[in-house]
């Protein structure tokens, strides 16, 4: 079995999903989980794109030990210098440089001749190698590039010191047969190709990102790039969990494996969904709620007689339905601490105290507290912005009935510490609540998207809400949880506003690439 390296770009390409805007603490939690999951390389961001991105990449590079951390850079000295400052503290500093090679990108976007693209790439790879031991070079829009031009430029950047060559299908245009042939062609024609790792990077515009990635592996790719849950621009990237599980389940056919600890799959998927607000559809392969549910009578009958009649893999393999002890009213601090260790969560004394307090409050209202509930509580604390909250919810009341006009009354503490109050009506309870919050908050607010989900099942499940707002013209998302749906909705709304106010200085407009 040859080992395929997994290169995760959830925090870079994935974070470019419309409406996704993670803060530093959230990015760090995802990075830690990716390290536990066993990804070989994680792309933490694009350091030169904004101060916020720089800080997040630096924090991750300085913290993560078992996974190589990389950052994206354009073929410019200043980008490479900034990336070095962010990444130099990592265990194995690694840079990801890219430049487009397709005729349409070179002519219209870059306004550069193929010769200029070649020379710039060679020069910047050389420059980057003076600092970074590992330099990946990507031919943006490779799948719409001239194959012989690719052969030439790849040969030259390898001579200049590139250690990884990435062949992105930037627009999600290629097919498995074509992409596989391209890898084979490069291996046959680039004379020094054996000196580097060859990497795939696929987008899912035609629904073929995973199939294309595996076709690349069958034709000599030794690294696969993608994201958790396949999030990313437009239709997203290749889902790494699907690639890894396909190689595992069909190990009779594919002779490749990954280092991923597959039993961490579900937890990784849940964390990314929770923090980005991009939930996976119920029928999503591997991690969807229904991925292992058998509904029809014939299937259920078969399963009862022999599970393998309809089951090609077990839910336990990917960490679904793992038997877990519920925690309840009588669970003590010790059991609680052990549970958190099981999640791989490290909490400091203050965080632990706060988490335990929240847990006890929840047990007053909920008979059985599930792993999902605990995870939600702890993630709220680990990624909380309340310590630096600008607006704080003091109290609220919403009146709703089929015969009267929904009305909300809200009291907030505003950024200057003053308590402000208002009451408004709306067509429904959430609208009345949001109208009132809008009235009390000075920024220009527009609600773009609103979601409400339950954490786990049962009548007493926690509610989790995600909102996307446009604040002074800028999209910002927020999330909040509570036992009541209206309270969760209020928390999510205020979370978005607070995030906007906090991020204003650190996050300039995201530069969208690749
Ligand atoms: Zn991409």
pLDDT tens digits, 353-376:
888 888 888 888 777 787 778 888
Distance 384 CA to ligand 1 centre (A): 29
Give the rounded percent of residues in the chain with a pLDDT score beyond 70. Answer: 96
Distance 170 CA to ligand 1 centre (A): 5
**Looking at residue 322, what is its pLDDT?**
55
Residue position matching structure tokens 């990507």? 138
- Closest of 164, 4, 199, 22 to residue 92, by C-alpha: 164
**Looking at residue 511, what is its pLDDT?**
46
- What average pLDDT does this structure show over 341-346? 77
With 80 as the cut, is the pLDDT of residue 504 above it? no
With 90 as the cut, is the pLDDT of residue 483 above it? no
User: Which letter, b or e, does each residue of 482-511 get, where b requires 16 or more Cβ atoms within 10 Å of its Cβ?
Assistant: bbebbbbbbbbbbbbbbbbbbbeeebeebe
Confidence label for 166 from pLDDT (cuts 50, 70 and 90): very high
* Lowest-pLDDT choice from 158-162, 354-358, 421-425: 354-358
Distance 166 CA to ligand 1 centre (A): 11
Between 510 and 191, residue with greater pLDDT: 191
Distance 93 CA to ligand 1 centre (A): 21
Q: CB count, 10 Å around CB of 464?
A: 24
SS (HEC) of 368-436: CECHHHHHHHHHHHHCCCHHHCCCEEEEEEEECCCCCCCEEEEEEECCCCCEEEEEEECCCHHHHHHHH
Distance between terminal CA atoms of the chain?
Answer: 32
Residue position matching structure tokens 């749906």? 485
Distance 202 CA to ligand 1 centre (A): 7
- What average pLDDT does this structure show over 322-335? 72
Residue position matching structure tokens 């790879």? 125
Whole-number Å distance between alpha carbons of 250 and 238: 18
With 60 as the cut, is the pLDDT of residue 513 above it? no
- What average pLDDT does this structure show over 176-187? 98
Confidence label for 264 from pLDDT (cuts 50, 70 and 90): very high
* Lowest-pLDDT choice from 44-53, 316-325, 473-482: 316-325
Strands (E), 419-504: 419-425, 445-455, 462-471, 474-482
Distance 48 CA to ligand 1 centre (A): 17
Distance 144 CA to ligand 1 centre (A): 14
Burial bucket for residue 403 (CB in 10 Å: 0-12, 13-18, 19+): exposed
Distance 284 CA to ligand 1 centre (A): 21
**Looking at residue 508, what is its pLDDT?**
44
Residue position matching structure tokens 């993630």? 379
Distance 223 CA to ligand 1 centre (A): 14
Distance 359 CA to ligand 1 centre (A): 40
Whole-number Å distance between alpha carbons of 345 and 355: 12
**Looking at residue 340, what is its pLDDT?**
81
Of how many residues is the chain composed? 514
With 90 as the cut, is the pLDDT of residue 8 above it? yes
What digits encode the pLDDT tens for the residues 78-112?
999 999 999 999 999 999 999 999 999 999 999 99
Q: What single-letter DSSP state applies at residue 196?
A: S
- Closest of 49, 38, 139, 34 to residue 86, by C-alpha: 49
With 70 as the cut, is the pLDDT of residue 514 above it? no
**Looking at residue 212, what is its pLDDT?**
98
- Three-state secondary-structure class, residue 475: strand
What digits encode the pLDDT tens for the residues 487-499?
999 999 998 998 8
Distance 43 CA to ligand 1 centre (A): 11
Whole-number Å distance between alpha carbons of 325 and 330: 13
Residue position matching structure tokens 């800028």? 474
With 60 as the cut, is the pLDDT of residue 15 above it? yes
Distance 136 CA to ligand 1 centre (A): 14
What digits encode the pLDDT tens for the residues 104-141?
999 999 999 999 999 999 999 999 999 999 999 999 99
Q: What single-letter DSSP state applies at residue 512?
A: P
- What average pLDDT does this structure show over 420-427? 96
39 CB-near residues (< 8 Å, 6+ apart): 6, 7, 8, 67, 240, 259, 260
**Residue 298 tokens, joined:** 């014939």
* Lowest-pLDDT choice from 218-227, 263-272, 286-295: 286-295
Distance 243 CA to ligand 1 centre (A): 16
With 80 as the cut, is the pLDDT of residue 412 above it? yes
* Lowest-pLDDT choice from 19-28, 265-274, 376-385, 421-430: 376-385
Q: What is the DSSP string of 276-337?
A: H--PPPTT-TTTSTTTT---SHHHHHHHHH-GGGT-SS-GGGGT-S-----B-TT--HHHHH
With 80 as the cut, is the pLDDT of residue 389 above it? no
- β-strands 392-399, 407-413 pairing: antiparallel
**Looking at residue 324, what is its pLDDT?**
57
Output the average pLDDT for the chain.
91
Whole-number Å distance between alpha carbons of 430 and 399: 10
Whole-number Å distance between alpha carbons of 46 and 391: 30
Give the rounded percent of residues in the chain with a pLDDT score beyond 90. Answer: 70
Confidence label for 320 from pLDDT (cuts 50, 70 and 90): confident
User: Which letter, b or e, does each residue of 213-240 get, where b requires 16 or more Cβ atoms within 10 Å of its Cβ?
Assistant: bbbbbebebbbbbbbbbbbbbeebbbbb
* Lowest-pLDDT choice from 72-76, 340-344, 458-462: 340-344
Distance 233 CA to ligand 1 centre (A): 8
Kindly report the backbone phi and psi dihedral angles of residue 358, in degrees, each rounded to the nearest multiple of 5, phi listed first: -60, -40
- What average pLDDT does this structure show over 267-291? 92
Q: What single-letter DSSP state applies at residue 192?
A: T
Confidence label for 387 from pLDDT (cuts 50, 70 and 90): low
Kindly report the backbone phi and psi dihedral angles of residue 256, in degrees, each rounded to the nearest multiple of 5, phi listed first: -135, 150
Distance 146 CA to ligand 1 centre (A): 19
Distance 348 CA to ligand 1 centre (A): 36
Confidence label for 10 from pLDDT (cuts 50, 70 and 90): very high
With 70 as the cut, is the pLDDT of residue 72 above it? yes
- What average pLDDT does this structure show over 333-350? 81
Whole-number Å distance between alpha carbons of 100 and 141: 6
Handedness of CA 438, 444, 445, 446 (dihedral sign): positive
With 90 as the cut, is the pLDDT of residue 308 above it? no
- What average pLDDT does this structure show over 432-454? 94
């Amino acid at each position: 079995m040859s080992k395929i390296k997994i290169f995760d770009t959830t925090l870079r390409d994935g974070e470019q999903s419309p409406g996704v805007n993670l803060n530093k603490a959230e990015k760090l939690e995802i990075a830690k989980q990716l390290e536990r999951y066993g990804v070989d390389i994680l792309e933490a961001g694009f350091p030169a794109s904004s101060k916020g991105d720089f800080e997040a990449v630096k924090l991750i590079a300085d913290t993560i030990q078992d996974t190589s951390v990389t950052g994206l850079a354009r073929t410019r000295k200043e980008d490479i210098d900034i990336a070095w400052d962010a990444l130099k503290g990592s265990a194995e500093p690694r840079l990801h440089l890219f430049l487009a090679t397709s005729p349409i990108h070179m002519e219209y976007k870059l306004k550069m001749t193929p010769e200029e693209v070649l020379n710039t790439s060679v020069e910047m790879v050389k420059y980057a190698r003076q600092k970074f031991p590992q330099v990946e070079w990507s031919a943006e829009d490779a799948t719409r590039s001239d194959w012989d031009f690719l052969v030439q430029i790849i040969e030259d950047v390898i001579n200049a010191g590139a250690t990884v060559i990435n062949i992105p299908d930037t627009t999600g245009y290629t097919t498995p047969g074509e992409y596989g042939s391209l890898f084979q062609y490069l291996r046959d024609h680039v004379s020094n190709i054996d000196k580097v790792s060859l990497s795939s990077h696929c987008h899912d515009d035609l629904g073929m990102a995973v199939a294309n990635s595996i076709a690349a592996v069958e034709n000599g790719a030794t690294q696969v790039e993608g994201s958790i849950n396949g999030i990313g621009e437009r239709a997203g990237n290749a889902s790494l969990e699907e690639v890894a599980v396909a190689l595992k389940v069909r190990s009779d056919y594919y002779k490749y494996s990954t280092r991923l600890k597959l039993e961490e799959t579900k937890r990784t998927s849940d964390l990314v969904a929770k923090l980005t607000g991009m939930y996976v559809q119920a029928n999503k392969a591997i991690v969807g709620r229904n991925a292992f549910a058998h509904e029809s009578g014939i299937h259920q009958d078969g399963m009862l007689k022999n599970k393998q009649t309809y089951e090609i893999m077990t839910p336990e393999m990917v960490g679904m339905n793992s038997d877990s002890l519920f925690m309840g009213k009588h669970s003590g601090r010790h059991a609680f601490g052990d549970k958190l260790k099981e999640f791989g969560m490290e909490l400091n004394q203050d965080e632990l105290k706060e988490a335990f307090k929240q847990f006890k409050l929840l047990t007053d209202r909920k008979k059985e507290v599930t792993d999902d509930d605990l995870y939600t509580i702890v993630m709220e604390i680990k990624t909380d912005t309340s310590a630096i909250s600008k607006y704080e919810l003091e109290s609220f009341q919403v009146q709703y009935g089929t015969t009267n006009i929904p009305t909300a009354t809200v009291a907030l503490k505003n950024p200057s510490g003053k308590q402000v109050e208002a009451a408004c009506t709306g067509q429904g309870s959430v609208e009345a609540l949001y109208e009132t919050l809008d009235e009390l908050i000075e920024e220009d607010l527009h609600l773009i998207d609103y979601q409400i989900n339950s954490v786990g099942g049962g009548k007493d499940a926690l509610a989790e809400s995600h909102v996307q707002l446009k604040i002074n013209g800028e999209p910002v998302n927020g999330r909040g949880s509570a036992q009541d749906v209206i309270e969760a909705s209020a928390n999510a709304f205020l979370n978005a506003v607070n995030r906007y106010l906090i991020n204003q200085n650190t996050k300039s407009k995201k530069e969208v690439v690749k």
